């Protein structure tokens, strides 16, 4: 999947991503990077609204799973079950969210469970970056439902 295709998918299927002007910066097997500007995500303090920061981090984590499952030809419905977000620094401009599997997570085990049971859970992290500073960290528990549960 190309960054342009993923961005179109997000804007078509998750309208909030379009309203927030989320763009796909890059896609790799082990990471997805999304970017967003300040203007549509601004709060009363002229920094990024916490809900926007969290939403972009969740989107980056969700995208990683969507991209990896799509590349394997494994149609799945991916949803977030729970998450925690740490806000470490104010974001006063354009920012990015980089996702990766959480340390200790086993993709092969996740896929085996999804194939065998039709449902699997995995933790994905996302780091928010603003001007070279880590501005936030998200850890999310995601659930994938296989084709028979779409």
What pLDDT score was predicted for residue 76? 83
- Report residue 131 as tokens: 């001007």
- Helix spans in the chain (H): 3-13, 15-19, 50-71, 107-117
- d(Cα 86, Cα 51) in Å, to the nearest integer? 12
State the angle between helix axes of 3-13 and 50-71 in degrees (0 to 180), rounded to the nearest 10. 120
Q: In a 3-state reduction of DSSP, which class is residue 131?
A: coil
Would you give per-residue pLDDT tens digits along the chain (150 residues)? 899 999 999 999 999 999 999 999 999 989 999 999 999 999 999 999 999 999 999 999 999 999 999 999 887 899 999 999 999 999 999 999 999 999 999 999 999 999 999 999 999 999 999 999 999 999 999 999 987 654
Cβ burial, residue 25 (10 Å; 0-12/13-18/19+): middle
- d(Cα 74, Cα 68) in Å, to the nearest integer? 9
CB atoms within 10 A of CB 106: 11
Q: What is the CATH number of domain 3-149?
A: 3.10.129.10
pTM: 0.94
What pLDDT score was predicted for residue 1? 86
Asked whether the beta carbons of 149 and 139 are under 8 A apart, the reply is no
């Amino acid at each position: 999947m190309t960054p342009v295709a993923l961005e179109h998918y997000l804007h078509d299927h998750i309208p909030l991503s379009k309203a927030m002007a989320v763009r796909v910066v890059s896609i790799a097997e082990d990471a997805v990077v999304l970017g967003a500007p300040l203007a549509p995500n601004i709060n009363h303090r002229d920094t990024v609204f916490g809900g926007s920061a969290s939403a972009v981090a969740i989107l980056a984590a969700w995208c990683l799973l969507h991209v990896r499952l799509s590349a394997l030809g494994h149609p799945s419905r991916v949803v977030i079950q729970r998450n925690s977000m740490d806000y470490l620094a104010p974001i006063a401009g354009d920012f990015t969210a980089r996702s990766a599997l959480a340390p200790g997570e086993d993709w092969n085990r996740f896929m085996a469970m999804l194939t065998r049971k039709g449902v699997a859970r995995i933790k994905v992290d996302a780091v928010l970056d603003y001007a070279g500073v880590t501005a936030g960290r998200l850890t999310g528990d995601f659930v994938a439902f296989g084709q028979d549960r779409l």
